[in-house]
Amino acid sequence: MRLKAILTLKCPRCLRGNVYRSFFKMNKSCPHCGVVYEREQGYFMTAVFVGYVMGFVIAVLAGLGLYLTVKPDAIGYLLGASGVVFLSIPLVFHYARVVWMHIDELLDPRKPEELEAARRNREET
């Protein structure tokens, strides 16, 4: 269920509300349960690290794919893997934040006062 929510970019708390309003716009809070996504200032800095890890995994998979198919020289690997990583930037950007929020929710679930704020937030909108 949570994996499906991550893949479809849903809220880490209710697993239903969309995290993104449009391709470039992220919702400040969940449209379904009202929970605020940015729990504190700088909250998404850790998502940058998640993005690095995702980029590294994509680069390794691209290198492996090149090895199994065309077997290029060193420059070919560098350009091929770099190209794949470059093309995956929008995907990584979206998923890094969502993956980070889900990891954070699993390790440090929102406290009752945060959920109360979410409930008030939902009533206002």
Helix axes 45-68, 89-107, angle to 10 degrees: 130
Kindly state whether residue 12 participates in binding Zn ion, applying the rule CB under 5 A.
Answer: no
- Tokens read off for 75: 């420059």
Contact yes or no for 32/16 (Cβ under 8 A): yes
Which range of residues in 30-38, 45-53, 58-66, 78-86 is near Zn ion by CB under 5 A? 30-38
Interface residue with Zn ion among 9, 18, 32, 72 (CB under 5 A) is 32
| Among the listed residues 5, 6, 17, 54, the single contact to Zn ion using CB under 5 A | 17
Provide the sign of the torsion angle of the four alpha carbons 118, 120, 122, 125, taken in this order.
Answer: negative
Q: Does 97 bind Zn ion (CB under 5 A)?
A: no
Kindly state whether residue 98 participates in binding Zn ion, applying the rule CB under 5 A.
Answer: no
Q: 51 and 40 in contact (C-beta within 8 Å)?
A: no
Using rule CB under 5 A, residue 51 touches Zn ion: no
Residues at the interface with Zn ion (CB under 5 A)? 11, 13-14, 17, 30, 32-33
